[in-house]
């Protein structure tokens, strides 16, 4: 049976999305790995799927390029919410279910904002865990993130250091690793490079990482207003609503549609 898909890019973080709101289809680990392969498949950081939910607009699932299912992916969820609003409803707000939480997204003047529902300190790490870095911060924003401040994100041995930290003994399930630098602390603007667990390499952007970095820099610098987070894939805007909830947005691009058989 042929299956339609849409490939989306969210600030360079790219995903294959299957819309199964009206049909069912099992995505096997082998299929996901083959689809994400850049040489012999479509090429993607992961595969996303939306299916019906009895209470919310849809259920969102995401598998990384290694075939493992992730609890959450902010950029893929943004793309899925964008797709659902454009194809399944007329209103500009949608609430959907992930593996562990409920998320809300809102389309405002063709810019999709998503409220990042999860912010958990689910590990008790010793304060001297990473003495090589002036500041560090850990938070689970749907998936675990270790945020490390460096003088310049472009002058680190990323491919050498990041994989070791991703598998650090302090993280039972591994962690995503976010290197940040702040050129001017008087401006709420931060540069980010991220190594993603499951992709096992640097990605152009990471939504849960953007959220983690926003929480980290608020703790480091006391920033209270909007924050700009700049990745390889472009700039993301972070804002906090009156209740203190974090929302972020960025570019979403529909790359192409196709079918697999």
Residues identified as active-site: 73, 206
Q: Which residues of 202-215 are buried (b: 16+ CB within 10 A; e: fewer)?
A: bbbbbbbbbbbbbb
Query: CB under 8 Å to 223, separation ≥6 — which residues?
Result: 188, 217
What size, in residues, is the chain?
A: 261
Largest CA distance in the chain: 56
Give, in degrees to the nearest 5, the angle at Cα 226 between 252 and 130.
Answer: 90
Q: Which of 154, 163, 142, 221 is nearest to 191 (CA)?
A: 154
CA 21 to CA 116: how far, in whole Å?
23
């Amino acid at each position: 049976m042929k299956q339609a898909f849409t490939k989306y890019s969210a600030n360079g973080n790219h995903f294959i999305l299957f819309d199964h709101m009206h049909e069912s289809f099992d995505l096997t680990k082998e299929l996901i790995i083959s689809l994400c392969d850049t040489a012999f498949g479509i090429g993607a950081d992961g595969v996303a799927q939306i299916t019906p939910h009895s209470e919310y607009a849809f259920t969102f699932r995401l598998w990384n390029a290694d075939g493992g299912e992730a609890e959450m992916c902010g950029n893929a969820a943004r793309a899925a919410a964008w797709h659902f609003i454009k194809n399944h409803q007329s209103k500009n707000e949608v609430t959907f279910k992930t593996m562990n939480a409920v998320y809300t997204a809102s389309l405002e003047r063709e810019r999709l904002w998503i409220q990042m529902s999860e912010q958990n300190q689910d590990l008790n790490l010793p304060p001297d865990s990473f003495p090589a870095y002036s500041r560090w911060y850990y938070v689970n924003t749907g998936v675990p993130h270790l945020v490390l401040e460096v003088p310049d994100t472009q002058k680190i041995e990323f491919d050498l250091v990041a994989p070791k930290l991703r598998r650090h003994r302090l993280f039972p399930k591994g962690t995503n690793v976010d290197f940040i630098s702040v050129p001017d602390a008087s401006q709420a603007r931060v540069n980010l490079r991220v190594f993603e667990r499951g992709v096992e390499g640097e990605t152009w952007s990471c939504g849960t990482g953007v959220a983690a970095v926003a929480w980290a820099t608020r703790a480091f610098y006391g920033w209270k207003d909007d924050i700009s987070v700049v990745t390889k894939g472009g700039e993301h805007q972070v804002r906090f609503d009156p209740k203190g909830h974090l929302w972020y947005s960025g570019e979403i691009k529909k790359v192409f549609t196709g079918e697999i058989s």
